[in-house]
Amino acid sequence: MQKPWGITARYMARAGIIAALYVAVTFTFSAISYGQVQVRLAEALTLLPMVIPEAVLGLFLGCLLANLLGPWGTIDIIFGSLITLVAALITYRFRYTPAAYLSPILFNAFGVSLYLYAFFRLPYWVTVFYIGAGQAVAVLALGLPLLRLVKKHFAPDDW
C-alpha cells in the first residue's frame, strides 16, 4: 500500500540502511572523521541520491546520528546535518550534472568551516581548504567508484 508522500516500508528500510552505513563508516574511521583536518569516508555515500532517492533521508539521518555522538556538540548536530541534507537534495535534484558532484564538497567546505574554524582558531579559508580537500577525497576518490558500482549492479528496484 502506497503511503503519503511515497514513503513506504521499503523506502524507510533503504534510508535506514544508508544511515546505518554512514554511521558505521564514520565511527570505524572516527580518528579522521571529525576535526578541522578530516576525511569523513562516509561522505562517499553522498553521491547515492543520484540513483537512490532514499539516500537523501538516509544521509541526513546518518549524519545527524554521527554528529550526535561526535565531539562538536549542538552546532555540528544541527548545522552539519542540515548541510548534508541540503547537499543531498541538490545532488538528487541535479543528478549527473556538475552541481550534483560538487554540492557535497562545496557545501561542507564552506558551511562546516563556518563553525569549525572557530573551534580551532585558524583562518576561515584554511579551514575551507582542509574540509574541502577531505570532502573531495571522500566524494571523488571513493564516491565515484561506489556510484559506478551501484549503477552497474543494483537497479533501484533490486533492493
What CA dihedral angle connects 32, 36, 41 and 45, to 10 degrees? 160
C-alpha cell at 146: 561506489
pLDDT at position 119 is: 79
pLDDT at position 1 is: 45
Show the domain range for 33. Answer: 4-158
**Residue 44, amino acid:** A
Q: Rounded CA gap, 114 and 26, in Å?
A: 21
How many domains is the chain partitioned into structurally? 1
pLDDT at position 156 is: 61
Which regions in the chain score pLDDT beneath 70?
Answer: 1-6, 155-159
Secondary structure in 3-state letters for 62-105: HHHHHHHCCCCCHHHHHHHHHHHHHHHHHHHHCCCCHHHHHHHH
pLDDT at position 56 is: 98
> For the domain that residue 132 is a member of, what is the CATH number?
1.10.1760.20
Do 65 and 59 touch, CB atoms closer than 8 A?
no
pTM of the model: 0.91
Secondary structure in 3-state letters for 20-48: HHHHHHHHHCHHHHCCCCCCCHHHHHHHH
pLDDT at position 129 is: 96
